[in-house]
Amino acid sequence: MDKHKELKELFNKGFTSLENRLNGGTKGELHTYRKDALKRFNELRFPTIKDEEWKYTNISPVIAKYFKPSADSAVIADAKGVDRFFINRNDFIHLVFVNGRFSDELSFGWKETEGFTVTNLKTAIKDKPEIVSGYIGKNAVIEDNIFTALSSAFIEDGTFIYVNKNTVVEKPVHIFYVTNSNEEIMNAPRNLFIAGANSQIKVIESYEALSSAAYFTNVVTEIFLEEGAVVEHIKIQDEALGAYHIARTEVSQKKASNYLSYNVDFGGSIVRNNLHTRFDESGAENNLRGLYLTSGSQLVDNHTRIDHAMPHCLSHELYKGVLNDSSRAVFNGKVMVRKDAQKTNAFQENKNLLLSEDALVNTKPQLEIFADDVKCTHGATVGQLSKDSLFYLKSRGFSHDTAMRVLIYAFASDVVHAIDIPEIRDYLEKKIAEKLATGLEN
């Protein structure tokens, strides 16, 4: 595996130049963490389809590309045109990153905050190093995942949110990771969201591109919910169609906290999402919703894991997919109920619509249960639109295509209906309709 060695070499070189650039930032605990991550990265091997976790997702195209760490890139981040992605200019807090670099002039609403801190990670590392190193790497461990190790070795910037206890952040925080590069680069943003006791926050993460060259986003997000915290987290992945996106989100939940996740995938050539949540104390709840609309030769792989480590917790999961052309989707949902996690309720569902002959879906809902007083169900379906529904609409004067579109839209938009931010919900519904309209034309 010389290629792998070469690639590792390349990243090691990139790391040296990162160290030079950090210039003094190489002391502190955080840098020790970076170095540990790099060490682990060098020890781990790239997964192949022989690894159960990567059975259906072949990442060799990602490895074949020799992506450079983005900060090394000579390309100056050009932020022109970024504002077209903004959904609500007035009422949201905006943070914009271009090619992994924070853009001060495009971001707004983030400075004049009270009771909470929204900033870029670089600033947080400077201002609150003890908080950052107190949380970073606590949820997303580098041991078992080479991409997490790689991303962690290159921690430089990203989003840092800290909400003080009993604070309700009224304005949704909208974070944009925009890529505009003709070079093949790797962006490794790192997000750290900490919601204090009884606080509430809504965060939207958007991945967009202005350029069309292949690039690689390798993002790690860690979310901490203290007692009674409520976090609504919407991730909109709309990367360029030639891009690779590997994301890992790790959530830990304390007593009676509530985590809501919406994970919507539109873009990307190979996409892999790992969303893991863990109940650290009892009485907590989460709701994970996902939607993937794929066409062309896209591959979207969603791995979720809900760890019921404590009793009296509740989890709901609904992932839906619409697959067209020769696209592929993978769903692997694991619900784990630990030994003493009695009175656990866990419900999981995965539904897939195949629209073309060549589309392929591999789904594996998985339950691992070690407690007896539990209610756990999972369901998975793969199918087409019901002929009766189609007939009904056609008999009411809908053309075949319109009828199809209406039904698929109803199937897909169900996932985003419950989003609490009307602008985002409307945006996503429109986006779904657009993607379906173009997808169905062929």
Binding site for another protein (CB under 8 A): 52, 339-340, 342, 352, 354-384
As measured in angstroms, the least distance from the Cβ of 407 to another protein is: 15
β strands within 280-391, DSSP E: 285-294, 299-308, 314-323, 328-337, 344-354, 360-369, 374-383
Residue (75 or 376) nearer to another protein, CB? 376
Q: Are strands 328-337 and 360-369 parallel, antiparallel or unpaired?
A: parallel
Residue (108 or 347) nearer to another protein, CB? 347
Residue (17 or 366) nearer to another protein, CB? 366
Q: Are strands 374-383 and 101-102 parallel, antiparallel or unpaired?
A: unpaired
Compute how many other C-beta atoms are within 10 angstroms of the C-beta atom of residue 143: 10
Q: If 0-12 CB within 10 Å is exposed, 13-18 middle and 19+ buried, where does residue 217 land?
A: buried
| 3-class state of residue 406 by DSSP | helix
As measured in angstroms, the least distance from the Cβ of 359 to another protein is: 6
Residue (14 or 365) nearer to another protein, CB? 365
Q: Which residues of 285-308 are buried (b: 16+ CB within 10 A; e: fewer)?
A: bbbbbbbbbbbeebbbbbbbbbbb
| 3-class state of residue 82 by DSSP | helix
As measured in angstroms, the least distance from the Cβ of 49 to another protein is: 13
As measured in angstroms, the least distance from the Cβ of 348 to another protein is: 9
As measured in angstroms, the least distance from the Cβ of 340 to another protein is: 8
Residue (228 or 290) nearer to another protein, CB? 290
Residue (381 or 399) nearer to another protein, CB? 381
Residue (131 or 369) nearer to another protein, CB? 369
Residue (10 or 367) nearer to another protein, CB? 367
CA dist., res. 24 & res. 10, Å (int): 23
Geometric angle at alpha carbon 336, from 143 and 371, rounded to 5°: 130
| 3-class state of residue 131 by DSSP | helix
Query: CA of 222: how far to CAs of 140, 158, 190, 193, 325, in Å?
Result: 7, 11, 8, 6, 34
**Which bin fits 253, alpha (ψ -120 to 50), beta or left (φ > 0)?**
beta
Residue (43 or 340) nearer to another protein, CB? 340
CA end-to-end distance (rounded Å), the chain: 40
Q: Which of 313, 297, 162, 166 is nearest to 241 (CA)?
A: 297
Q: Which of 169, 70, 156 is nearest to 115 (CA)?
A: 169
As measured in angstroms, the least distance from the Cβ of 178 to another protein is: 35
Residue (370 or 391) nearer to another protein, CB? 370
Residue (269 or 363) nearer to another protein, CB? 363
Residue with tokens 């784990």: 336
**Which bin fits 246, alpha (ψ -120 to 50), beta or left (φ > 0)?**
beta
Structure tokens at 411: 């199937």
Compute how many other C-beta atoms are within 10 angstroms of the C-beta atom of residue 273: 22
Find the length of the chain. 442
Q: If 0-12 CB within 10 Å is exposed, 13-18 middle and 19+ buried, where does residue 371 land?
A: middle
As measured in angstroms, the least distance from the Cβ of 325 to another protein is: 11
As measured in angstroms, the least distance from the Cβ of 371 to another protein is: 6
As measured in angstroms, the least distance from the Cβ of 404 to another protein is: 13
As measured in angstroms, the least distance from the Cβ of 440 to another protein is: 13
As measured in angstroms, the least distance from the Cβ of 398 to another protein is: 21
